[in-house]
Amino acid sequence: MINKNKDLSRVDEKVYKSKMLENSMIIPGDSSELPDDFLKVVVLIDNAYLIRLKNYFFKNKFKYSLKKFVSIVAIKNKLVVEKILIYDAPPFQTENPNEEENKKKEDYDKYASIFKRDGIILREGRTQRLKIGDKFIYKQKGVDMLLGIDAISASNDFPEIKGIVLLTGDSDFSPLVEKLNKQKIKVFLWTFFDRKRDSPFSKSNHLIRSVGRYFKLTKENFLEAGLEVVKDESR
């Protein structure tokens, strides 16, 4: 069962445009300052995909607030966020971690603490190391399964919601969307695609067709949630 502490907030669109977003948070469950046509949703984020997208837009290190990012995109889609869940896996570590492994784990723990501070639920799989020839490759295990389980149980864990947002570009989630559709749960997709040659973000027509509505994320969405001072925030 997911912990349902509701400390995530909503943002008034006029306020965030004036860059006063941090002081404009509304307690979840209080719809008095939002239009009646805003739907309550839970947002499920494939963090590996989100990190890859952020790095695609920004070649240099860019710091932003994930909480603000979600709030801003939600407002654009007339959605009220009840909770954010993010899916990732701790970096692989050997029995006697070296300096590089310790640094990766330290960075991961830092981001995890920020998620906790902002009321974002971190759901963790594990990282598997495989040796191919003379090189090691690393793969996340169990992360997609956790997201699928939470999506199916979301209407029970959060009975007040009217829909689910999936932030991903993985077409493997298409069967999940079809299952949610059969349960009469509205599914919204936040994703990105382009038509550039050899792009890692080719359009997943099957995934897009399966959802009720999709929103194409942009570089500007990240910029709107950017931090003026670089400090410990989201990746």
Q: pLDDT tens across 152-173, in order?
A: 999 899 999 999 999 999 888 9
* In-domain check, residue 1: no
Where do runs of H (alpha helix) occur along the chain?
13-17, 47-57, 66-76, 99-117, 143-157, 174-182, 205-210, 219-224
66, 48 Cβ separation under 8 angstroms: no
* In-domain check, residue 137: yes
- Say whether pLDDT at 12 is over 80: no
Domain assignment of residue 219, given as a range: 10-224
3-state SS of 10-34 is EECHHHHHCCCHHHCEECCCCCCCC
* In-domain check, residue 234: no
* In-domain check, residue 46: yes
Least confident of 48-52, 107-111, 177-181, 209-213: 209-213
* In-domain check, residue 3: no
Compute the radius of gyration of the chain from its Cα atoms: 18
192, 167 Cβ separation under 8 angstroms: no
* In-domain check, residue 36: yes
The domain spanning residue 56 has which CATH number?
Answer: 3.40.50.1010
* In-domain check, residue 233: no
* In-domain check, residue 30: yes
Q: CA-based diameter of the chain, in Å? A: 60
- Say whether pLDDT at 75 is over 90: yes
Tell me the sheet residues that pair with 128. Answer: 139
Q: Which residue type is seen at 43?
A: V
Domain count, the chain: 1
pLDDT per position as a tens digit, 22-57: 333 333 334 445 555 789 999 999 999 999 999 999
Q: Which residue type is seen at 4?
A: K
